[in-house]
Amino acid sequence: MKADLLLSGGTIITVDATRSVIEDGAIAISGDRIAAIGPRGYVTRAHPAHRVIDTRHHVLLPGLIDAHSHAGCGLMRGLGAADPAAWAEACRAVTLRGSSPSFWRAEARLSALERMMAGVTTFVSVLGANEAAARCDDPAHGFAHCGGVAEIGIRGVLAVGPCGPPFPSIFASWEGGRSLEFPVPFERQLETMQALVETCHGRGRAQIALMMPPVPVDLADAAEIAAIQRQGRLVIELQHRHRLLFHQDGHGRGSIELADRIYGLLGPDSFVTPAHDLTPGDIATLERLNMAVVHTPAALAELHGACPVAALLERGVPVSLGSDGAAPEHGADPFRLMLLARRSAQLAAQDEGAIPPGKALEMMTIDAARTLRMDREIGSLEAGKKADIIAVDLRAPHLAPRTMPLWRVVCFAEASDVATVIVGGEVLMEARRLPTIDMATVLDEAQLATELMLDRTGLRSALAEPKTLWGQTRSKTLRAPTGVRLP
């Protein structure tokens, strides 16, 4: 049977059930799916193709999956980075007061392009820079994000949910160049979530997941507890009605057990991140509900507690990997993320053998696909699955000699080594060229959106590089930038 596209001559790491590796292999693609995969001679004879891409000297992998990140961060790199408190304040200022739909569209295009060119073909993004500040007052912001990701062509899961206490949340919009602040009750935020589900979920390569902010374990205000319980019931009803995923960010130290026992938020279609300093009750909850954890080894939160990745995996808790976004000081390079995940797990377990390269790759492919309930469609290279495929070029000094392909790509490859990216049979990048994307326009629009955001929030001073970055053993903590008025 004639195929639309043939990838010919590469070494294929399938991540299928047998974890087979095919030297001098080929993949035939018909429409948006893999028609055949196997030795090059056999596949080429059985599936002559209209178009052939020579992938000799390349390793072919399933498209990588970033299971947790934050929308907005792509235009916030470095803001207050010398001071974590200033960074958190800047996140709130940008998300709730300084952003507009054009900001979310420009950031989505930039972040999706960065990920795609690094080999990420599916990513989860929270519509806000942290779990306490979500842009959920108007669906226009979420529509803009989904549209921006769609223009790049990769798969996006947008996680949306209400802001946490105190209630109601205060947002701002921009009309005539002026900021107009207004309170937004939970009911309106729920309507925004409903609109995004009805308009975006399942359209093209977009999906919607629902969120609730994690509840602090020391919350004692009875009225706020009751409000969160009521809100949680309504969010979970919406989740069940549309069969959506449920996501929570910011967990640890007993909050997972609390979210299930007190608020009834978690279930087998839930996944959480991060998971630091877990209590026995947290781990028991994850086991009982067969619930997945997303490990974010590049996140600043890693400094405040360890995620026991190896111990969780040994207890049968699924673990995948997430970048946590592109700011304040990390990016979306999935190969760097796999290296950090291995090292952080080895440190936590005090075991050099923790998380071998194959497991790290599984955590960014098939394990992440299971977390997102997409493993029947993506996450491995098998006939019948969606053709989400990347090709890593081994013709580089740091990847030579061409032996042990799994070891090479997980331990030594970099984002810039990804040569070709295919999503659903569509070639988005070939030999680092972008046939359907004008990168200069994406970068220019991102710069313009950033300049507008800085003007609106008064955060330009937060991008000044302090002298404490030089000649110091430790950076001195800086105060939040002056002139920033937060909602």
Per-residue pLDDT tens digits for 431-442: 999 999 999 999
pTM: 0.94
The full DSSP string for 406-454 is: HHHHHHT--GGGEEEEEETTEEEEBTTB-SS--HHHHHHHHHHHHHHHH
Per-residue pLDDT tens digits for 96-120: 889 999 999 999 999 999 999 999 9
The size of the chain, in residues, is: 487
Per-residue pLDDT tens digits for 192-237: 999 999 999 999 999 999 999 888 788 878 888 888 899 999 999 9
Tell me the H-state helices in 72-219.
84-92, 101-117, 139-152, 186-200
Q: Does residue 137 or residue 275 have the better pLDDT?
A: 137
Q: Does residue 17 or residue 474 have the better pLDDT?
A: 17
User: Does residue 283 have a pLDDT over 90?
Assistant: yes
CATH for the stretch 3-62+380-429: 2.30.40.10
Phi, then psi, of 460 in degrees rounded to 5:
-60, -35
Domain 3-62+380-429 and domain 64-371 have a common topology: no
DSSP strands (E only) in 253-330: 270-276, 292-295, 319-321
CATH for the stretch 64-371: 3.20.20.140
Per-residue pLDDT tens digits for 398-414: 999 988 999 999 999 99
Give the domain ranges of the chain: 3-62+380-429, 64-371
Confidence tier at 250 by pLDDT (50, 70, 90): confident
